[in-house]
Amino acid sequence: MKTPEANSSDLSIRTRALTRRFGTFTAVDGIDIEVRRGEIYGFLGANGAGKTTAMRMLCGLLEPTSGEGEVAGFDILRETSRIRTRIGYMSQKFSLYPDLTLRENLGLSAELYDIPRRQVAERLRDAAHRTGIEPLLDRRTGDLPWGWQQRLSLACATAHHPSILFLDEPTGSVDPLSRREFWDLIRSEASRGTTIFVTTHYMDEAEYCDRVCFLVDGRVADVGTPGELKRRHAAQTLQQVFLDLARKARRS
Amino acid sequence: MNPRHLLTVARKELRHVLRDGQTLGIILSLPVVMMFMFGYALKSEIEDARVVVVAPRADDETRAFCAALDRNLQFEVAAVETGGDPATLMVRHRARAVVVLQADMARNREDGPVLFSVLIDGSDPGTATTLRAALPAFIRTQHFARNGIDPVRLIETGPRFLFNPDQKSALFFVPGLMATILAMIGTLLTSVAIVREKETGTRANLQLSDLSASEIVVGKLAPYFLIASGTGVLIMVVGRLAFDVIPQGSLGLLSWTTAIYLVVALSMGLMISTIVEKQQHAMLLALGITMMPTIMLSGFVFPRSSQPAPLQILSYVVPATWYLQIVRGIVLKASTLRDLWIPITVLAGQALLILSLASLRFSREH
């Protein structure tokens, strides 16, 4: 790894030889990653490269087959319950209840975490304000277009003030304009000191990241700032870097 | 367990149910519709069954007999013939039975028995069984009455039914439907509610929260327990108002034994939710393991004693087998805890076993 050595207290996420097998298939194959506090860390790769599997292990939703890791200073094998309360998670799949109103969805996600009762109302107002969903709070969630639902998802994932926000292909089926607006929200989250760990396969989005990690066949193929990567691969765009790395893939 | 956490999950779950008008409508109307369907389908009482009387001579005695037969609410005289093939007559007069009086009733009154034969339409087993008992009994009574013998005293010697003297079908199907509908609704609602969250991905929200697996289980089961209890009350109320089913025994005993049965049903739903990944599969599995065994094996429709040995053994595993004994006992016989301790113990054992297994599997997934 050519990443500069970082003081471990500056790291939000650190893994050593993290591996997950499903039967004979090795989805994540001994990855070592280091994510610094407050950075936007892009996790890139083709479909099936192991992005979601790796992320689910970091969140404590999936047990690793071998290897170790720390998230927010806690062990991902033994301290999953402490990790859970310090992270926010927004999945590519829709994770809101369509039959509830926005207010109810938001209220529920606050209640699911032990936010002190006195602070709940203020937290919710704040989350709704940051994501701009205030005028729609009493609408039924399922009735709103995707872009707004994504904003609500973000509000729900951040209502308990997580120190790390995991975003699993957050802009999956959103139009380009909403995508740009959504990235503005992500960047303002990061500017408040939240570490952002985001998977995507949109290479234009990868340009917004402070650092990018390319995953190929469950292994880390290369890591660096978008500029470093482009220089190293003599490429104009991250798209070309991706194609250069993906050519060596055996899967897919 | 944190009560605030329980309340959060329970309130969310209740919102899903209340907001889904169609499901709620089905939950509330299904029991009522089924009760009325069974009320008429399982009806064993007969009313105005058409009967053809074949008598060699249309004398006063014959006319008196026909008039009496016609006056009885169970029968209606379709025709009086002097002869002919009974099968042909039955078809021609769309009758359920043919009564053939073989001798001159007036002459035989004092000296010797009146010979008669009763032929019944066997194509409808339900009506046939009832007619087989009712029609000869009526004719005998009629004969004794005419000869000055008190029929009541003689009939006394025949078999009588205790606990359901009129053989009202409602007294059979109301307890049976309690067992069937509560198992169906309890298992179905729970399994679908949990699997839905797997399917939509909202399960991760709960997994990543501060809530423990047991808080999620109890919080999720509580609203469905309330809804299923409400359904049980609805069945008893409709049974009382529409079918005159008045429980003879303790309502308190009925309530808490029903609560145990509901725990079994909800736990089965929880178990299913840990096995399947899709709502459709949950639905099919829930209906499969509750509806058919409850109707076929528990003794609700077919007597267990007439089932082949392997099915009888299987029926011991079906919770409804035990619950049915409890409800029938309380509703019909005013049975007490002392009479019912065996089925209650077995049912409680099943509740404990299935709930622990299902919770264990659920927490492993969590």
pLDDT in tens, B235-278: 999 999 998 899 999 999 999 999 999 999 999 999 999 999 99
* Residues B27 and B75 occupy one common structural domain: no
Residue type, B359: S
* Residues B311 and B204 occupy one common structural domain: yes
pLDDT band, residue B57 (cuts 50/70/90): confident
Q: Write the CA distances from B239 to A90, A95, B299, integer angstroms.
A: 50, 43, 20
Kindly report the nearest CA distance between residue B13 and chain A, in angstroms. Answer: 10
- For chain A, domain boundaries: 8-86+162-246, 95-161
Among B10-24, B36-50, B59-73, B302-316, name the one with the lowest average pLDDT: B36-50
Q: Give the integer Cα–Cα distance in Å for A210 and A226.
A: 7
Average pLDDT estimate for A224-229: 94
* Residues B199 and B292 occupy one common structural domain: yes
Q: Does the residue B118 lie in any domain? A: yes
* Residues B193 and B342 occupy one common structural domain: yes
pLDDT tens sequence across A17-66: 999 999 999 999 999 999 999 999 999 988 888 898 999 999 988 899 99
Please work out, in degrees rounded to the nearest 5, the angle formed at the alpha carbon of residue A16 by the alpha carbons of A232 and A4.
Answer: 40
* Residues B197 and B315 occupy one common structural domain: yes
Kindly report the nearest CA distance between residue A2 and chain B, in angstroms. Answer: 33
* Residues B143 and B209 occupy one common structural domain: no
Residue in chain B nearest A117 by alpha carbon: B4
* Residues B261 and B346 occupy one common structural domain: yes
Q: Which residues of chain B neighbour A104 with C-beta distances below 8 Å?
A: 12, 15
* Residues B115 and B173 occupy one common structural domain: no
Q: Does the residue B13 lie in any domain? A: yes
pLDDT tens sequence across A104-142: 999 998 888 888 888 888 989 999 999 999 999 999 999
Among A153-157, A181-185, B4-8, B301-305, name the one with the lowest average pLDDT: B301-305
pLDDT band, residue B155 (cuts 50/70/90): very low
Q: Write the CA distances from B356 to B2, B148, B184, B257, B266, integer angstroms.
A: 20, 69, 20, 19, 12
Q: Does the residue B163 lie in any domain? A: no
Among A22-26, B159-163, B165-169, B268-272, name the one with the lowest average pLDDT: B159-163
Q: Does the residue B140 lie in any domain? A: yes
* Residues B265 and B317 occupy one common structural domain: yes
Question: For residue B158, is pLDDT > 60?
Answer: no
Q: Does the residue B164 lie in any domain? A: no
Q: What is the pLDDT of residue B46?
A: 78
Query: Among B188, B189, B209, which Cα is nearest to B284's?
Result: B188
Interface probe for B, chosen from A52, A80, A81, A97 (most Cβ of B below 10 Å), is A97
Name every residue whose Cβ is closer than 8 Å to that of residue B96 and which is 6 or more positions away in sequence: B46, B49, B50, B51, B90, B120, B121, B124, B127, B128, B131
Check A59 against B208: CB less than 8 A apart: yes
Q: Give, as one character, the DSSP assignment of residue B306.
A: G
Q: Does the residue B162 lie in any domain? A: no
Q: Which residues of chain A neighbour B20 with C-beta distances below 8 Å?
A: 99
Q: Does the residue B62 lie in any domain? A: yes
Q: What is the pLDDT of residue A3?
A: 43
* Residues B268 and B299 occupy one common structural domain: yes
Question: For residue A6, is pLDDT > 70?
Answer: no
Tokens 């096995």, residue located: B275
Q: Where are the beta strands (DSSP E) in A114-225?
A: 164-168, 195-200, 211-216, 219-224
Query: Among B129, B133, B149, which Cα is nearest to B141's?
Result: B149
Q: Which residues of chain B neighbour A95 with C-beta distances below 8 Å?
A: 200-202, 204-205
Question: For residue B106, is pLDDT > 60?
Answer: no
CATH number for region A8-86+162-246: 3.40.50.300
Q: Which residues of chain B neighbour A93 with C-beta distances below 8 Å?
A: 200-201
Q: Which two tokens stand for residue A207?
A: 């340009």
Domain around B283: 3-42+169-365
Average pLDDT estimate for B185-204: 90
Q: Write the CA distances from B250 to A234, B158, B168, B173, B330, integer angstroms.
A: 86, 32, 21, 19, 7
Q: Where a domain ends, among B100, B120, B155? A: B155
Name every residue whose Cβ is closer than 8 Å to that of residue B181 and which is 6 or more positions away in sequence: B30, B31, B34, B231, B235
Question: For residue B159, is pLDDT > 50?
Answer: yes
Q: What is the pLDDT of residue A219?
A: 92
Name every residue whose Cβ is closer than 8 Å to that of residue B72 and which is 6 or more positions away in sequence: B138
pLDDT band, residue B105 (cuts 50/70/90): low
CATH of the domain at B145: 3.40.1710.10
Average pLDDT estimate for A80-92: 86
Q: Write the CA distances from B123 to A75, B50, B73, B231, integer angstroms.
A: 75, 15, 22, 37
Q: Where a domain ends, among B129, B155, B181? A: B155
Query: Among B219, B236, B224, which Cα is nearest to B188's?
Result: B224
3-state secondary structure of A23: coil
Q: Give, as one character, the DSSP assignment of residue B204.
A: H
Q: Where a domain ends, among B155, B190, B225? A: B155
Q: Under a CB-based contact definition with an 8 Å cutoff, are residues B44 and B89 in contact?
A: no
* Residues B194 and B341 occupy one common structural domain: yes
How many folded domains does chain B comprise? 2
Higher pLDDT: A183 or A91? It is A183
Average pLDDT estimate for B148-158: 52
- Name the average pLDDT for chain A: 88
* Residues B176 and B250 occupy one common structural domain: yes
Name every residue whose Cβ is closer than 8 Å to that of residue A57 and which is 6 or more positions away in sequence: A18, A20, A28, A63, A64, A69, A76
pLDDT band, residue A1 (cuts 50/70/90): very low
- The 10 Å Cβ neighbour count of residue B267 is 26
Residue in chain A nearest B16 by alpha carbon: A99
Q: Give the integer Cα–Cα distance in Å for A74 and B291.
A: 48
pLDDT band, residue A198 (cuts 50/70/90): very high
- Name the average pLDDT for chain B: 86
Q: Does the residue B160 lie in any domain? A: no
- The 10 Å Cβ neighbour count of residue A238 is 23
Residue in chain A nearest B2 by alpha carbon: A114
